[in-house]
């Protein structure tokens, strides 16, 4: 939380991906007097069971309160039923305005979801994915996601059909953001972390000691 606060200046545009870890970060952000700062949600949070507004508002509100920032929610599904629906909605002016704000972000704060047994990953435990979706991800070799963009351990995202229906930004867009702070913990996130590092979407990484040792052991053994 203090690393994030140190990265925020006047007229910053902060992109935030929702999740349990970023919500925890938001609760501990120190207040910092900055001006004309904006906070924008980078992926939708709605599904069949919830609009996701309350969930994302609590997270974004923590950032908004800490930096007296204007908050922009992204009121779309996390995962669309049909990629054509997403393409059509992206042409709506109210949505394209938020997409432009996302593209102008100079700071991205996010964590990583893990498909491999970590129930803390809200995208996997929060009724966002159907059984067929999970089978599709397993078949594609997916190990995790960043802002509901799914990736393999080698960092690749191509040929994963679910990404065509995701509301989250492509990794090409993410890599254009100058500072990308990733906060991740737990042994179950190891393969997801390796994939995110291989994809080049992290500029600054905060990990717990257990995951740090596992990642370093992988580097020494040539596994990562």
> Domain extents for the chain?
2-221
Q: Which pTM does this prediction carry?
A: 0.91
Tell me how far the alpha carbon of residue 200 is from its chain's centroid. 14
Confidence category of residue 130, pLDDT binned at 50, 70, 90: confident
Question: What's the rounded mean pLDDT across residues 124-153?
Answer: 88
Distances (CA, A) of 219 to 24, 111, 185, 194, 223: 29, 21, 18, 10, 6
Reduced DSSP (H G I as helix, E B as strand, rest coil) percent helix, strand, coil of the chain, to 5? 40, 20, 40
pLDDT at 171 over 70: yes
Residue 118 has pLDDT above 60, yes or no: no
CB atoms within 10 A of CB 138: 11
End-to-end CA distance of the chain: 27
What dihedral angle (degrees, nearest 10) is formed by the CA atoms of 208, 209, 215, 220? 160
Given a cut of 70, whether residue 3 has pLDDT beyond it is: yes
Compute how many other C-beta atoms are within 10 angstroms of the C-beta atom of residue 106.
16
pLDDT of residue 20: 87
% of the chain surpassing 90 pLDDT: 75
Residue 66: which pLDDT band, with cuts at 50, 70 and 90? very high
Q: Check if CATH label 3.40.50.1360 holds for domain 2-221.
A: yes
| Residues present in the chain in total | 224
């Amino acid at each position: 939380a203090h690393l994030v606060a140190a990265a925020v200046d006047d007229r910053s545009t902060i992109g935030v991906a929702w999740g349990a870890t970023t919500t925890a970060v938001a609760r501990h952000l120190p207040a910092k007097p900055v001006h004309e700062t904006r906070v924008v949600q980078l992926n939708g949070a709605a599904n069949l069971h919830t609009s996701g507004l309350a969930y994302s508002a609590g997270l974004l509100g923590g950032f908004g309160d800490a930096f007296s920032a204007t908050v922009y929610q992204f009121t779309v599904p996390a995962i669309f039923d049909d990629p054509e629906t997403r393409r059509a909605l992206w042409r709506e002016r109210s949505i394209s305005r938020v997409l432009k704000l996302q593209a102008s972000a100079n700071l991205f704060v996010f964590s990583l979801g893990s498909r491999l047994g970590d129930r803390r990953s809200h995208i996997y435990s929060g009724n966002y994915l159907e059984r067929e979706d999970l089978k599709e991800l397993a078949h594609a070799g997916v190990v995790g996601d960043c802002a509901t963009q799914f990736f393999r351990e080698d960092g690749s995202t191509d040929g994963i059909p679910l990404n065509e229906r995701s509301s989250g930004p492509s990794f090409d867009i993410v890599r254009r953001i100058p500072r990308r702070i990733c906060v991740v913990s737990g042994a179950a996130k190891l393969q997801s972390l390796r994939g995110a590092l291989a994809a080049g979407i992290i500029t600054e990484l905060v990990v717990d000691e257990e995951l740090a040792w596992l990642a370093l052991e992988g580097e020494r053994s040539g596994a990562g």
